[in-house]
Amino acid sequence: MSREGYVNAALIAGLIGVPLWAHVAGEPFTITLATRAVIFALAAVGLNLALGLGGLVSLGHAVFFGIGGYAMGILAFHAQTYTPMFPDWLNIEGTKSMPVIWLVAVVSSALAALVIGLLSLRTSGVYFIMITLAFGQMFYYFAISWRAYGGEDGMSIYLRNSFPGLNTLDPIQFYGLCFVLLCAALWLTARIARAPFGLLLNAARQVPHRVETVGLDGQRAKLVAFVISGAITGLAGALFADLNRFVSPTMFSWHMSGEIMIFVILGGVARLFGPVAGAVLFVAMEHVLGDLWDHWHILLGLLLLGVVLFARGGVIGLLAGKARTHD
Amino acid sequence: MTDPVLEVRGLTKRFGALVVSDAIDLSLNPGEIHALIGPNGAGKTTLIAQVCGMLAPDAGRIRLKGQDVTALPARARARRGLARTFQISALAMEDTVLQNAMLGALGAAATPWRLFRPVLQDAALRATAEAALSRVGLLDKAAVRTAELSHGERRQLEVAVALTLKPAAFVMDEPMAGLGAEGGQKMTALLDQLRHEAPILLVEHDMDAVFALADRISVLVYGRVIASGPPDAIRADAAVREAYLGDAA
Amino acid sequence: MSAILIVEQVLNGLQFGVMLFLMAAGLTLIFGVMGLINLAHGSLYMVGAFVAATVAAATGSFLLALVAAMGAAAMAGALIEMTVIRRLYHTDHLDQVLATFALILVFSEGTRWIFGSFPLYLARPEALAGSLTLPFGIEYPRYRLALIGAGLAVALGLWLLIAKTRIGIRIRAGENDREMIAALGVDIRTLYTFVFALGAALAGLAGALVGAIQSVQVGMGEPVLILAFVVIVIGGIGSIKGAFVGALVVGLTDTLGGIFLPELFKLFMEPASATQVGASLASMAIYLLMAAVLIWRPTGLYGARA
């Protein structure tokens, strides 16, 4: 096993061991922190597919995080108030079933990613960054002005949604669900990276004109990657809303987009487990430093500057050395 | 006489008032190397860009294997068998040599939308890629990261990627660029063999290589083909001598 | 709806537009010359507003507050250019985004640390208090008129600087050919620091001017920053003219959309839901405009064609 392999294995062991220990020791708050880290990691695994493999610097991934969150919020809101979702002619009711909510979250964020991707991929480089940022802001303001679903205040969901056969109110069981979804997303992105599609995407990032001259469509590959990426981040949004039992426009804010990107970078771009390491580090810092000093964001900013200017590989790069190509 | 594989008729391109391609006629017959030479700024790169579909001409037609491809994008022309190499190597530097060759094989096989099956386990793709690498003498470097190749090896890999397409015609933009004497000889020998697989439209500044390899040479000056014919005729052509050497005609 | 209201709203849109221009001009200049995307531009706007509020409170002079705001923003700009930004010119856009996002975290949290979370208050100058009566009996606040005038004056000054002066020639040369002007012996490091500080000063000025009609608080620069990005995407990155046209278009669309869209929907919907739908759509109007421009011209109105 390579050094990166050991680092990854240690991360997974920690993500299994620490919550289990907390469960036995009766420390539910630690489990909640771990859940938060795992959900952030899932959102960042989504972004990493677009960013690391496709080279798409999306500063608007909060759109998908927010759509996932609102998918949960809206469905659960109608279920808890027993109101139909649409005017009478379309009798759709809300739901408290997680699998249904997840499906809606994934499909709707994938659709949003398709539309945003189609528009944004007409451009590249710095235009792409600004446009994804602007679309993020558009959703943010839309959510603020949408009073039916809480407007600026957001909305609270009083019960956690259900999953067949599990008691989702038990922190460790909910954590387990989130962890399994994270592993599934990691497995999926690892497969994609090694598949023909991954090879194509990887080359489209590095040498777009070469891809065209061997008869392949690099732009479409980037669009597909963007859609899958948005769908994964959307799923994370639905889980995040369930963890907090609350959704608000801040899930759409560009700080959220920036933070998802920070998870990827702190851990190491284009490393399979980079987003996981980054999200864990972020949540740990938030908890430890946040307790010590209200203004811990100053330290976060300085750390991020340090990583960008001096430690390009992020945490995994520091621990595992230079990136190796997939084989 | 057999029909040309690649045929250009009346190709014209203007940038504002500047005519960069002026009613160019060219053809590429099976088994031949057709060299395109001319001083810097003669419009060779623009011509190649139009032939390969990176740039749309203002007028004229381009036919590949008898089919009109003038309106098709680069991607579609590549799928119909037009393989180009770049003057400045266009390779995925972070990837291995094999992965670069596989990309070409993937283009030829047209299965890039498989999301799951590991590409390096695809025996057919791998065989195509390895055969091409072996042709250019890079098989033993298959697992090396492309960034670690020497300049000459990158030029060879450029050709290998084109080979994986199993093309009907090659368009090569200065394959000798930056090669030393030894590398140049190796490349010359390689191209000499390749012409039997598919004819080559060769843009090249290395005149030794051009006169050693070419069956026909066309000379491009200010966007116009001023002479076209076998090497000996070109060497003796008065207009060519004037353009290159400033000889009085 | 009266004609007076319409004129008022157009003036509001213009005022918003010229302030956006002050932000967008700096951003587009910095991108054009150095190839850098600077997310921390909004922080310099915030620095301008806070310094203006502090100086105005201490001295009572609005003019002094403006000068101090520009000076402080320019100094902050020069400082971050020399310590951080300079290392980013040759890196990819991802690094630039991350490093300047990191700067936002430091600036915003640092400001909160020093000034606390409560908004500061910046009083308008006495001389510009009250309203002016325009032709047709339109009453319009003097201060907002002064903002329009100041914005247009800065736009003119910037155009003169770039088109007519020696330093302007160097800036334009820097956009076209970095190696060349370095080869000609122009000190490119100093030029870059100057351009960055100039952009920062404009942002600081905008922050101070707008600070007197809004509250001065942490995070105030970010919505403006993102709107300024929309402006440059519409106008074309690197083009000052594009920034000007784009800023006015965005300023007018945003202001007029917020007023007229709800009215428009009232024509065929019940008032309550018309207000709701109109407001939602108005909040999205400029982004829809941006999307439309992108479909029509992917590099913006005045951007270089790819």
Per-residue pLDDT tens over the stretch A169-188: 899 999 999 999 999 999 99
> Cβ of C195: how many Cβ atoms within 10 Å?
24
Q: In chain B, what percentage of residues exceed pLDDT 70?
A: 96
A-C CB pairs within 8 A amount to 116
Q: Poorest-confidence range of A114-123, B83-92, B181-190, C171-180?
A: C171-180
Q: Chains touching chain C at 3 or more Cβ pairs under 8 angstroms? A: A
pTM of the model: 0.91
Residues 6+ apart with CB under 8 A from A121: A56, A128, A219, A222, A223, A226
Handedness of CA A282, A283, A285, A291 (dihedral sign): positive
Question: C306, C299 in Cβ contact below 8 A?
Answer: yes
CA distance B47 to B27: 13
The answer to whether the CB atoms of A57 and C222 lie below 8 A apart is no
Per-residue pLDDT, A326: 41
Superfamily of domain B6-81+167-245: P-loop containing nucleotide triphosphate hydrolases (3.40.50.300)
In angstroms, the Cα distances linking B228 to A34, B241, C52 are 73, 13, 74
Name, of B65-69, C43-47, C84-88, the range with top average pLDDT.
Answer: C43-47
Per-residue pLDDT, C277: 78
Please report the residues numbered 47 through 66 in chain A whose beta carbons come closer than 8 angstroms to any beta carbon of chain C: 51, 57, 59
CA distance A59 to C184: 38
Mean pLDDT (chain C, rounded): 87
CA distance C20 to C9: 16
The answer to whether the CB atoms of B92 and A327 lie below 8 A apart is no
CA distance C23 to A218: 35
Angle at A229 between CA B110 and CA A105, to 5 degrees: 120
- A99 phi/psi in degrees, rounded to 5: -55, -40
CA distance C264 to B7: 59
Q: pLDDT tens digits for C213-225?
A: 888 999 899 889 9
Q: Is A323 helix (H, G, I), strand (E, B) or coil?
A: coil
Which positions of chain A have pLDDT values less than 50?
A: 324-327
CA distance C179 to C169: 15
DSSP, res C127:
G
Which position has the higher pLDDT, A228 or C238?
A228
Expressed in angstroms, the distance from the first to the final Cα of chain B is: 34
| DSSP string computed for C238-270 | T-HHHHHHHHHHHHHHHHHHHHHHHHHHHTTS-
Give the H or E element holding residue C12: helix C3-34
Q: What is the CA radius of gyration of chain B?
A: 18
CA distance C193 to C80: 9
**Residue C152, domain extent:** 3-296
Per-residue pLDDT, A281: 93
Q: Is C286 helix (H, G, I), strand (E, B) or coil?
A: helix
Per-residue pLDDT, A324: 47
Judging contacts by C-beta atoms under 8 Å, the chain A residues touching residue B115 are 191-192, 195, 197
| DSSP string computed for C167-199 | HHHHHHHHHH-HHHHHHTT--HHHHHHHHHHHH
Pick from B170, B173, B128, B130: which is nearest to B155 by CA? Answer: B173
User: Is residue C301 domain-resident?
Assistant: no
B144-158 burial, b if ≥16 CB within 10 A, otherwise e?
ebbeebeebbbbbbb
Q: Is B11 helix (H, G, I), strand (E, B) or coil?
A: strand
Q: Is the pLDDT reported for residue C142 higher than 90?
A: no
The answer to whether the CB atoms of A309 and C87 lie below 8 A apart is yes
The answer to whether the CB atoms of A206 and B95 lie below 8 A apart is yes
What is the ipTM score, two decimals?
Answer: 0.87
User: Is residue C306 domain-resident?
Assistant: no
The answer to whether the CB atoms of A304 and C101 lie below 8 A apart is yes
Judging contacts by C-beta atoms under 8 Å, the chain A residues touching residue C104 are 301
Give the H or E element holding residue B134: helix B123-136
Pick from B220, B218, B239: which is nearest to B230 by CA? Answer: B218
The answer to whether the CB atoms of B111 and A196 lie below 8 A apart is yes
Residues 6+ apart with CB under 8 A from A131: A60, A119, A120, A123, C233, C290, C294
DSSP, res B20:
E
Per-residue pLDDT, A327: 37
Question: A269, A278 in Cβ contact below 8 A?
Answer: no
Per-residue pLDDT, B235: 85
Can you give the CATH number for the domain in which C158 is found? Answer: 1.10.3470
Q: How many domains does one find in chain C?
A: 1
**Residue A226, domain extent:** 3-320
User: Is residue A103 domain-resident?
Assistant: yes
User: Is residue C174 domain-resident?
Assistant: yes
CA distance C234 to C35: 18
User: Is residue A301 domain-resident?
Assistant: yes
Q: A with C: 3 or more CB pairs under 8 Å? A: yes
Q: Is the pLDDT reported for residue C136 higher than 80?
A: no
Question: A127, C231 in Cβ contact below 8 A?
Answer: no
Give the H or E element holding residue C131: strand C131-134
What token pair was written down for C51? 């310094």
What residues in chain C have their Cβ under 8 A from chain A's Cβ atoms?
Answer: 31, 37, 84, 87, 93-95, 97-99, 101-106, 108-110, 112-113, 222-223, 226, 229-230, 232-233, 237, 276, 279-280, 283-284, 287-288, 290-291, 294-295, 298-299
Per-residue pLDDT, A323: 56
In angstroms, the Cα distances linking A113 to A253, B137, B225 are 16, 44, 49
User: Is residue C290 domain-resident?
Assistant: yes
Per-residue pLDDT, C170: 78
User: Is residue A306 domain-resident?
Assistant: yes
Judging contacts by C-beta atoms under 8 Å, the chain A residues touching residue C218 are none
Q: pLDDT tens digits for C157-211?
A: 988 888 888 888 777 777 666 666 666 677 788 889 999 999 999 999 999 999 9
